[in-house]
């Protein structure tokens, strides 16, 4: 087997063992080598259409019919976003990044959800206040802001500008509103302009970066353009910053798998995925607040097992696809699904990585109907930088097709299971998987670094976390939970993608004013109740 790495549209040779597959790896660092040449099939990925409920500019790209907005004007739409521990002007910055004004009249700012996600990995509250200010200026950001709408799944958040912070008497903040683009026509090679305040020191100039679209990446749920891959890398402090096309229209937000100022940004979330969130913020009014789902952070451990504490490694859930477009310097999957017809010659898949240290041991373990396939699994030493997209194909070492059944891929880094996903080839998932089982509920106020029950739950706790063991969950697509307090419905979560794999330990929770009372947590897999945990706390 040979593994290839692509850097800025150059290929890099990369060795692997115990595997008979051909693969492409798109990393953040590496040296040049001869590019792989593949003739693409005569198909193309369908575009994602933007909802018509928001007035947009024309199609994105270098449109000669649209006047070009100068950099100095675009910079006026960029803001600095900080999540703060405390309310004073000297409060500690917990997370920092950028955003862009999408509605000046209502004071709405689009940014990355990972900057303002209200909870830490252990389930406790991450910060006390959000502050926003002009990206260029002096002193700390001048205004408070509230989180009014968000899509954690797509890493978008909309903030509403509030009152000036205490101690700010004469705020200087006069932004312009970004022009929103229809991103359905974006294509490989389109040039982009990225803007961000890449430092907590606003006296420094706004950072601008010229880059281009190197390809597209899906989310595994049928969407072929969930991410725009860039042909370069920019610092992690650019997260949340806007990406504009050459005409100056907003086409997306710089995004990471998980917030990490030390990891580079190499992907853009397209604006088309944010339209519903922006509309929700506009329609929600001044009193709107977003209540996020409080649950196990999937990027720490995609299969629900203990993740190495604080090591900064994030792996996306592997996505499978029916087709691939390949050429010199690119490899894009499309027609994403986890169910395939039988007699299939190969299985296309990909996953993104962030923060894997150089020299770390990486394993891709394959299972067929729960039995590990040693001859198709692989082990290799990581030398592909702090961000990479692993794009690969599974094929048998002979001319036969892939055997029908449930194919599960587990991604391990440094001996820890990080992500897992299952594809069903030539079979109905219900025919090869048993009914999911959830059992052994435990309650705590926080999660340990290994994502197991942490702090003890007391009457004064401000969050209730319910931990449970699960098995036979490989075919599950979504999870949600309902919380009852003293026999009355207290909270119902939205359905979120299931990233726990077949078996392990997971947790869900709810923020509370205090934890006293009778609690019941009901867990649903694909809208079917699979387990209930109860607790009485005086």
**What pLDDT does 222 receive?**
56
CB 507 within 8 A of CB 467: yes
**What pLDDT does 204 receive?**
65
CB 179 within 8 A of CB 160: no
The secondary element (H helix, E strand) that includes residue 59 is: none
Phi, psi of 533 (to 5 degrees): -120, 140
Tokens of 508: 């869900």
User: What string of pLDDT tens digits covers the 538 residues of the chain?
Assistant: 323 232 222 232 223 333 334 333 333 333 333 332 222 333 333 333 333 334 445 555 555 566 788 888 899 999 999 999 988 888 999 999 999 999 999 999 999 999 999 999 899 999 999 999 887 766 788 899 999 999 998 999 999 999 998 888 777 778 899 999 888 888 999 999 999 876 655 556 788 888 999 988 887 665 668 899 998 888 888 899 999 999 999 999 999 998 988 888 999 999 988 999 999 999 998 889 998 889 998 764 333 444 444 678 999 889 999 889 888 878 888 888 889 998 888 999 999 999 999 999 999 999 999 899 999 999 999 999 899 999 999 987 776 788 999 999 999 999 988 888 999 999 988 777 788 999 999 999 999 988 899 999 999 999 999 999 999 998 898 999 999 999 999 999 989 888 888 888 999 999 999 999 999 999 999 999 999 999 999 8
CB burial of 504-536 (b: ≥16 within 10 Å; e: otherwise) equals: bbbbbbbbbeebbbebbbbbbbeeeebbebebe
For Cα atoms 443, 445, 447, give the angle at the middle one, nearest 5 degrees: 85
**What are residue 469's DSSP bridge partners?**
439, 505
Q: Quick one: how many helices (H) and strands (E) in the chain?
A: 4, 35
Among 288, 299, 222, 292, residue whose Cα is nearest residue 494: 292
**What pLDDT does 425 receive?**
94
Among 179, 190, 216, 253, residue whose Cα is nearest residue 62: 190
Give the predicted TM-score (pTM) of the model. 0.85
**What pLDDT does 59 receive?**
54
Burial of 401 (0-12, 13-18, 19+ CB in 10 A): middle
Domains within the chain, CATH numbers bracketed: 71-177+278-291 (2.40.10.10), 183-273 (2.40.10.10), 300-432 (2.60.40.2550), 435-537 (2.60.40.10)
With residues binned 3-state (H G I as helix, E B as strand, rest as coil), the percentages for the chain, rounded to 5, are 5, 45, 45
Tokens of 140: 């700390």
Tokens of 225: 């353009």
Cα four-point dihedral sign 126, 130, 135, 138:
negative
Among 244, 252, 209, residue whose Cα is nearest residue 227: 252
**What pLDDT does 137 receive?**
64
Cα four-point dihedral sign 389, 5, 336, 325:
positive
Among 412, 407, 396, 403, residue whose Cα is nearest residue 338: 407
CB 220 within 8 A of CB 335: no
Residue appearing with tokens 């490694």: 313
CB 316 within 8 A of CB 351: yes
Q: How far is residue 92's CA from residue 85's CA, in Å, rounded to a whole number? A: 5
Q: Which pLDDT tens digit goes with each residue over 173-219?
A: 788 999 998 888 889 999 999 998 766 555 567 888 889 999 888 87
**What are residue 203's DSSP bridge partners?**
none
**What pLDDT does 350 receive?**
94
How far is residue 410 from each of residues 97, 169, 352, 414, 416, measured CA to CA in Å?
32, 55, 13, 13, 10
Q: Which pLDDT tens digit goes with each residue over 8-54?
A: 222 322 233 333 343 333 333 333 333 322 223 333 333 333 333 34
CB 513 within 8 A of CB 421: no
Beta-strand ranges (E) seen in 426-527 are: 437-444, 463-471, 478-485, 488-492, 496-497, 504-511, 517-525
Q: How far is residue 323's CA from residue 82's CA, in Å, rounded to a whole number? A: 41
**What pLDDT does 63 receive?**
55
Q: How far is residue 73's CA from residue 94's CA, in Å, rounded to a whole number? A: 29
Phi, psi of 81 (to 5 degrees): -120, 130
DSSP state, residue 99 = E
Q: How far is residue 104's CA from residue 177's CA, in Å, rounded to a whole number? A: 6
Three-state DSSP state, 258: coil
**What pLDDT does 103 receive?**
94
**What pLDDT does 437 receive?**
93
Number of residues written out for the chain: 538
Tokens of 280: 């929700």
């Amino acid at each position: 087997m040979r593994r290839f790495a692509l850097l800025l549209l150059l290929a890099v040779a990369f060795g692997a063992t115990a595997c008979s597959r051909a693969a492409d790896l798109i990393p953040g660092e590496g040296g040049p080598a001869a590019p792989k040449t593949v003739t693409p099939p005569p198909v193309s990925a369908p575009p994602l259409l933007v909802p018509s409920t928001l007035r947009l500019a024309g199609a994105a790209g270098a449109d000669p019919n649209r006047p070009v907005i100068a950099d100095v004007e675009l910079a006026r739409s960029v803001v600095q976003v900080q999540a703060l521990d405390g309310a004073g002007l000297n409060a500690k910055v917990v997370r920092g990044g950028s955003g862009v004004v999408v509605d000046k009249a209502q004071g709405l700012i689009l940014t990355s959800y990972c900057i303002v996600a209200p909870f830490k990995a252990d389930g406790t509250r991450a910060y006390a206040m959000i502050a926003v200010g002009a990206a260029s200026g002096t002193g700390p950001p001048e205004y408070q802001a509230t989180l009014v709408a968000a899509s954690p799944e797509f890493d978008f958040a909309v903030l509403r500008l509030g009152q000036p912070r205490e101690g700010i008497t004469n705020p200087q903040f006069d932004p312009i509103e970004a022009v929103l683009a229809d991103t359905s026509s974006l294509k490989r090679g389109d040039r982009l302009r990225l803007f961000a305040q890449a430092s907590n020191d606003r006296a420094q100039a706004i950072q601008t970066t010229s880059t281009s679209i190197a390809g597209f990446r899906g989310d595994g749920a049928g969407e072929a353009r969930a991410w725009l891959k860039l042909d370069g890398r920019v610092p992690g402090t650019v997260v949340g910053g806007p990406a504009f096309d050459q005409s100056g229209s907003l086409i997306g937000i710089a995004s990471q798998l998980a917030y990490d100022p030390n990891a580079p940004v190499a992907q853009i979330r397209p604006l088309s995925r944010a339209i519903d969130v922006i509309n929700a913020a506009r329609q929600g009014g001044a009193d709107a607040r977003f209540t996020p789902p409080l649950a196990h952070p999937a990027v720490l451990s995609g299969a629900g097992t203990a993740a190495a504490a604080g090591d900064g490694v994030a792996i996306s859930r592997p996505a499978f696809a029916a087709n691939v477009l390949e050429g010199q310097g690119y490899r894009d999957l499309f027609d994403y699904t986890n169910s395939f017809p039988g007699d299939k010659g190969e299985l296309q898949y990909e996953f993104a990585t962030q923060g894997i240290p150089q020299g770390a041991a990486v394993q891709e373990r394959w299972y067929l109907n729960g039995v590990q396939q040693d001859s198709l699994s692989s082990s290799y030493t990581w030398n592909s930088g702090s961000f990479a997209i692993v794009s690969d194909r599974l094929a048998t070492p002979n001319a036969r097709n892939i055997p029908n059944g449930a194919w599960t891929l587990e991604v391990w880094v440094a001996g820890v299971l990080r992500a897992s996903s299952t594809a069903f080839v030539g079979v109905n998932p219900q025919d090869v998987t048993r009914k999911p089982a959830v059992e052994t509920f435990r309650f705590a106020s926080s999660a340990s670094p290994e994502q197991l029950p942490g702090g003890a739950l007391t009457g004064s706790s401000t969050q209730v976390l319910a931990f449970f063991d699960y098995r036979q969950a490989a075919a599950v697509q979504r999870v949600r939970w309902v919380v009852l307090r003293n026999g009355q419905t207290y909270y119902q979560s939205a359905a979120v993608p299931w990233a726990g794999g077949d078996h392990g330990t997971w947790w869900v929770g709810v923020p509370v004013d205090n934890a006293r009372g009778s609690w019941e947590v009901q867990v649903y897999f694909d809208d079917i109740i699979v387990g209930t945990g109860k607790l009485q706390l005086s």
